[in-house]
Amino acid sequence: MKGKAVVGQSGGPTSVINSSLAGVISKALEEEAITKILGMNFGIEGFMNEDFFDLSAQSPEVIKGLRGTPSSALGSSRHKLVEDDFPVILEILKKYNIRYFFLIGGNDTMDTVHRVELYCREQNYELRGIGIPKTVDNDLFGTDYTPGFPSAARSNILNVLQAGVLARDMKKVDQFVIYQTIGRDAGWLAAATALARKKEGDAPHLIYCPERPLAPEQMIEDAKECIRKYGWVSIVVSEGLLYKDGTPVSASQNKDKFNNTEFGAMGGASVALNVHRILTDALEGARGEFQITESLIMSAFDRSEPQDLDMAYKCGQEAVRLACGGTSAVMVTIKRNPDCSFSLGQAALEDVAVKARAMPREYINERGNDVSDEFLNYMTPLISSLPQFVALENKFYKE
């Protein structure tokens, strides 16, 4: 089937999403069935406005350079499709003779690909729609991990590691440090910071994820115990953390177009700030600070994982290979092999769309304030070597 291909990027940017785009372009240029490759400027919204990049006309230097460029080169969109959008989309597909439809994004993005592909099938318009996974939250079903997650995890790990060294060395009074990660429905990024620890007493001491509700009294008790043992406490919290009654710790009331709660700066509220208030009231005389990175960790290319960049590129290439081979209505997935290497697979879009994969219960300890060994075993193959910092010894020398 000959025709044009179109690709778009949706949701938050990452340090590897452009590597997936490079994979799509490079593979599409090799396929005789694809007559031209177009890029949606600002996702499905740009598509409906017929706002396209001519990706076939990009220089080899630009295509290669995308593999080493963060952010989202095509822009992004969080538009939720409504019924009136579909006839418009079909008309544009026909106008440009677009037969290959690719979107790079998370579960909401997979919903867009799924609905467009299904509508075209119902209208007897032959279109092959493939989803390419991307989300730093790591909450997509059907894939061992999502491109973008390992690099964002590494960025968070380094932040917590270095902030921990700073807090350890600078403390004069009881001190607490709160670090907030992205993670709307799942705590993968918060949990990943456990890899910052190399020995007893290293940051982070406590980790709280959305999969387990926060009990303030227990958190205060845990924090006091850490301060007793180490003289300070490092706490990592996910932005989606909830109390036992289901209300957000951030107190955010804002919703996006997909009815997802918006946290952090976008929501005008913050888990880290509210946890800081709880501990300030409970820990008399203690000094506390909080750190919120938001999108900084999503596109920190200097902290990207080489394996993550490579798999993102391969996912883009695999999407084109599948589509040109006759496959449609699937998302490319990453499979973990017994030797902890990774290979590619596929999952039905209907099984992936608008669903968030929480961390398995066994990945969180019984008290709900840290991760388990099972989680560390899952994470270790995803993160390359980390810096090794030291502390001075023999403090009490006197003449």
Could you give the residue numbers annotated as active site?
137
Burial of 271 (0-12, 13-18, 19+ CB in 10 A): buried
Count H helices and E strands in the chain, helices first.
13, 11
Known binding positions: 12, 107, 135-137, 239
Task: List the structure tokens of 277.
Answer: 């208030």
| 8-state DSSP, 358 | P
Known binding positions for Mg(2+): 107
Interacting residues of 108 by C-beta distance below 8 A, sequence separation 6+: 10, 11, 78, 80, 258, 353, 354
Question: Sign of the C-alpha dihedral, residues 65, 66, 72, 74?
Answer: positive
Which value, in Å, is the radius of gyration of the alpha carbons in the chain? 23
Biggest CA-to-CA distance, the chain: 90
CA angle 257, 149, 51 (to 5 degrees): 45
CA angle 377, 295, 139 (to 5 degrees): 40
Q: How far apart are CA 263 and CA 266, in angstroms?
A: 6
Contact between residue 307 and residue 334 where contact means Cβ atoms under 8 Å apart: no
Q: What is the number of other CB atoms lying within 10 angstroms of the CB of residue 322?
A: 18
Kindly give the pairing relationship between strand 52-54 and strand 232-238: unpaired
Known binding positions for substrate: 135-137, 239
Known binding positions for diphosphate: 12
Q: Which long-range contacts (CB under 8 A, 24 or more apart) does 90-98 make?
A: 90/119, 90/120, 90/123, 90/125, 92/47, 92/48, 92/50, 93/120, 93/125, 93/127, 94/125, 96/4, 96/6, 96/38, 97/3, 97/4, 97/35, 98/3, 98/4, 98/5, 98/6, 98/38, 98/127
204 preceded by a cis bond (ω within 30 of 0)? yes
